[in-house]
Structure formats: structure tokens, C-alpha cells
Amino acid sequence: PPARTPSPAGCVMPPTPQAIEQRLHCLYMEGPEVFREVIELVISNDPKNENTMVDQALARAGLALSDIDFIAMHQANGRMNQQLEERLVHRGFGGKIYNNFSRYANTTSAAIPSVLHEAAALEILVRGMTFMIVVFGGGYTWYVVIGRWTAEKPLIVYGPRV
């Protein structure tokens, strides 16, 4: 089971003065357990474990990890990124993984657009590459997108300059 402590937070337990005093309005998670579970949910070190986000997406696309040229991942924290990158390489990924965590830290929903913008602007992600986007978030929500990059020029976005 997920390493979440059940909490009546949110609309079930609105932040009334009494709830706030008793800290009942907060959701609690067991950080180290969540960390381990998310790592294993994304990609396992065991190639026989095909029940991971990455493996399931690749199977649906009819591709192997070695077919992917570029990966953009949600940037929860530096240690998590490092472990995920090591597992991906261990499992056969030979492409490019780009992140900007060291400059911006966890930018939540801005992580993927900023990574794609920077990678395209720096010509790390170029036309014709097969890319994979891996995102995960609170409540154990997740998504994987696999596609082919077709933009000829870097995307025009409004955000920090590269």
C-alpha cells in the first residue's frame, strides 16, 4: 500500500480554527517510504518487473527503452532524479536526460515546459527525436507521454531566459 497516512484533510476537514490547532487540515506522508515507492513505480532495477510507468508506456507504444532519444522527467528532488537516471541507464537507456533542477529546484507544473523549452533552445532536443515525458505527483498520480519531436525551432514561451 502507498506510504500515505490517511488524513481527513481538504474539504472533508476544512481548515477551521480547531482543525488548524490540531493540524487535522494537513495531509501527511512518510517521506522515505514515498521516495522508495515512487522510484520503483517509475522504473525498476529488475528488468523482469514490467509493471512500472515506463515499462507499461513503452509496451503500449511498441517501443524499447533503447528507442527513446530524450527523457524529460518531473523534478521532485535531486536525489530522486539521480536514482531514476541511474535506473534508466541500467535498464538500457542511452539517450539524453535533461533537467534544470539544479537551477530552479522543484518547479511543480512548470518543470516539463521549462525542460522542453531549454532542451530545444540548447539543441539537446531536436526534430525527429523520440521523446518520453514522465511526471508524477501528490496522491500517486502519474503520466507518461511518448512522442516524436517535430518542432524545427525552439518553442516560443514566456518564462526565464535560457
Q: Specify the residue for cell string 521523446.
A: 131
The separation between CA 11 and the C-alpha centre of its own chain, rounded to angstroms, equals: 27
Does an H or E element contain 142, and which?
strand 141-148
Over pLDDT 70: what percentage of the chain? 78
Distance from C-alpha of 13 to C-alpha of 7, rounded to nearest angstrom:
9
- Mean of pLDDT values over 54-63: 95
Nearest CA to 70 among 138, 137, 35, 122? 122
Average pLDDT value for residue range 50-67: 94
Higher confidence at residue 140 or residue 156?
A: 140
Average pLDDT value for residue range 111-130 = 89
Region of residue 107 (phi > 0: left; psi between -120 and 50: alpha; otherwise: beta): alpha
Percentage of the residues of the chain whose pLDDT score is greater than 90 = 30
Within 13 A of 45's CA, how many CA atoms are on the CB side?
Answer: 4
Residue 6: pLDDT band with limits 50, 70, 90: very low
pLDDT band at 37 (very low <50, low <70, confident <90, very high): confident
| 57 vs 51: CA distance, rounded Å | 10
Average pLDDT over residues 55-67: 95
CA-closest candidate to residue 3, choices 139, 137, 108: 139
**Whether residue 108 has pLDDT greater than 80:** no
65 vs 67: CA distance, rounded Å:
5
**How is residue 151 annotated by DSSP?**
-
Confidence check: pLDDT of 107 > 90: no
Residue 1 pLDDT greater than 50, yes or no? no
**What is the arithmetic mean of pLDDT over 102-106?**
71
pLDDT of residue 117: 85
